[in-house]
Structure 1
Amino acid sequence: MINAIVLIHAEARRIPETAQAVADIDGVDKVYSCAGDIDLIAIVRVRDHAKIAEVVTEGINKVDGVSRTATHIAFQSYSSADVEAGFSIGE
Structure 2
Amino acid sequence: MKPFFVLVKCQLGKSYQVAAAIADAEIASEVYSTAGDYDLLAKFYVEDDADIGHFVNEKLHVIPGIADTRTIPTFKAF
Q: Which of structures 1 and 2 has the larger relative contact order (alpha carbons within 8 angstroms, sep 6+)?
A: 2
Cα RMSD, aligned residues only: 1.6
Match of 2:56 in 1: 56
Task: Pick the structure with greater CA Rg.
Answer: 1
| Separation of aligned partners in 2, 1:7 and 1:72 | 8
Match of 1:89 in 2: none
Deviations 1:10-58 (A, max 9, x none): 0130111101111233431111111111110110012135353333101
Structure 1 unmatched ranges of 5 or more: 79-91
Match of 1:74 in 2: 74
Matched, 1:23 2:26: no
Q: Which contiguous aligned blocks of 4+ residues in structure 1 show a shift greater than 6 angstroms? A: none
Structure 2 unmatched ranges of 5 or more: none
TM-score of the pair, normalised by structure 2: 0.85
TM-score of the pair, normalised by structure 1: 0.74
| Separation of aligned partners in 2, 1:24 and 1:53 | 21
For structure 1, which segment, 21-30 or 5-14, has the greater mean C-alpha deviation from structure 2 after superposition?
21-30
| Separation of aligned partners in 1, 2:28 and 2:48 | 14
Matched, 1:47 2:47: yes
